[in-house]
Amino acid sequence: MLVLGIETSCDETAAAVVDGEGNVRAQAVLSQIEDHKPYGGIVPEIAARAHLSHLDRLIAKAMSDAKVRFEDLSAVAATAGPGLIGGVIVGVMTAKAISMVRGIPFIAVNHLEGHALTARFTDGVQFPYLLLLVSGGHCQILVVEGVGRFRRLGTTMDDAAGEAFDKVAKLIGLGYPGGPAIERAARDGDPARFTFPRPLKGRPGCDFSFSGLKTAVRLAAEALPAISEKDAADLAAGFQTALVESTADRVARAIAVFRADYPTGDTLVASGGVAANTALREALTTVSRKNGLRFVAPPVALCTDNAVMIAWAGVERLKLGWVDGLDIKPRPRWPLDPGAAPVRGAGVKA
Ligand code: KG4
Ligand code: ZN
């Protein structure tokens, strides 16, 4: 089995070829960070145009590096949502064209399912498992019961965790993307100089909220005459510590639900760009160990957006015989658990 995966839902244009055993035959990723940097965030129109300019070349490179011809492929899988719709359209239309011209099946992959299933081929994780999905656009905790079967235990009431990193970095002058910049600055910072809230800590449920924390950082920054390098480091450290503590608290609550309802489950997986954060990984390792779970976080390059995860989700679906018609439409929103109760506070991301 050989599946070509295509990812264009955000600011990475990517193509990859993965086989039925989860071996990555080749991958090509092009980050658009430099295109968006002058604007301090992702500009959807610029992203869509960049995907259009580069996708064909990246697919050709992945195919030639893998020494695979189109007629060797078992299927072509593309992210069909959720994401920035202009980019999603570029990937889906390209995949449909390959499918039609070469007569191979098309598989529409939910980007979040791509993140969710990554730990299956990197670490052989078995269903069911608990998944913390934390990226720039998403912040949820789910039980992964099977391919296409998810139960959402919590989601954000306002900002996603990565969005909070990005916004805080911008307001203390650390640039974009914010997560790595905050993590770097925080290394030299004093996390105790500023006292920031730990949103929802100790409160019932497993939902997240980060906008109050972001406001607290803004007020602390505004109270300073000017933000020196030391101030930025202390603000970054204080913010990161608060976000990690709040997240770990929410995860501990989700673990309690998971242990009670899924006695065979033994693993917590973290995925999405924010799962690259070392402080968060350490806190999740501790909370997992304390509650009798194993903690798994895929390598950073497979936690952030990539096409390997989309190709692999295609492999998992193809093994079940699940392929899609060419009438499938790209979707800006596509919740993994459509039955989940809506959260109060609006701003739900998926
Ligand atoms: O999964 P991803 O590549 O794209 C999507 O949003 O789908 O995640 C990108 C997000 C950005 O918000 C970025 O600031 C954050 O992940 N991020 C981090 C770190 N590396 C990336 N956040 C905290 N610490 C990091 N080391
Ligand atoms: Zn993502």
Residue 346 has pLDDT above 70, yes or no: no
**Which pLDDT belongs to residue 349?**
47
Ligand nearest to the CA of 111: 2
* Of 129 and 35, the one with more pLDDT: 129
Give yes or no for residue 110 CB within 6 A of ligand 1: no
Determine the distance separating the centroid of ligand 1 and the alpha carbon of 161, expressed in angstroms: 8
Tokens of 100: 């039609």
Give yes or no for residue 274 CB within 6 A of ligand 1: yes
CA angle at 22 for the pair 16 and 24, rounded to the nearest 5°: 35
Q: Model confidence at 42, in pLDDT bands (50, 70, 90)?
A: confident
Residues with CB under 5 A from ligand 2 (ion): 135, 305
Instruction: Provide the strand spans (E) within the chain.
Output: 2-7, 12-19, 24-31, 75-81, 106-110, 129-134, 139-146, 149-155, 267-271, 294-296
Determine the distance separating the centroid of ligand 2 and the alpha carbon of 114, expressed in angstroms: 8
* Of 339 and 208, the one with more pLDDT: 208
**Which pLDDT belongs to residue 249?**
98
Average pLDDT across the chain, whole number: 95
Q: How many CB atoms lie within 10 A of CB 192?
A: 10
Give yes or no for residue 135 CB within 6 A of ligand 1: yes
87-113 pLDDT tens trace: 999 999 999 999 999 999 999 999 999
Determine the distance separating the centroid of ligand 2 and the alpha carbon of 78, expressed in angstroms: 13
Give yes or no for residue 87 CB within 6 A of ligand 1: no
Give yes or no for residue 305 CB within 6 A of ligand 1: yes
Residue 36 has pLDDT above 70, yes or no: yes
**Which pLDDT belongs to residue 343?**
79
Question: What is the rounded CA–CA span in Å between residue 338 and residue 306?
Answer: 24
Q: Which residues contact 298 (CB under 8 A, 6 or more apart)?
A: 118, 119, 122, 123, 269, 271, 275
Determine the distance separating the centroid of ligand 1 and the alpha carbon of 240, expressed in angstroms: 13
Question: What is the rounded CA–CA span in Å between residue 137 and residue 268?
Answer: 21
Residues in the chain, total: 350
Residue ranges and CATH numbers for the domains of the chain are 2-115+302-319 (3.30.420.40), 126-300 (3.30.420.40)
Query: Is there a contact between 226 and 232 (Cβ–Cβ < 8 Å)?
Result: no
Give yes or no for residue 159 CB within 6 A of ligand 1: no
Residue 347 has pLDDT above 80, yes or no: no
Tokens of 29: 């990723």
45-85 pLDDT tens trace: 999 999 999 999 999 999 999 999 999 999 999 999 999 99
216-229 pLDDT tens trace: 999 999 999 999 99
Give yes or no for residue 199 CB within 6 A of ligand 1: no
Q: How far is CA 265 from the centre of its chain?
A: 22
**Which pLDDT belongs to residue 350?**
44
Question: What is the rounded CA–CA span in Å between residue 36 and residue 34?
Answer: 5
Q: Model confidence at 345, in pLDDT bands (50, 70, 90)?
A: low
324-338 pLDDT tens trace: 999 999 999 999 999
**Which pLDDT belongs to residue 326?**
98
Ligand nearest to the CA of 12: 1
**Which pLDDT belongs to residue 259?**
97
Q: Model confidence at 39, in pLDDT bands (50, 70, 90)?
A: confident
Determine the distance separating the centroid of ligand 1 and the alpha carbon of 274, expressed in angstroms: 4
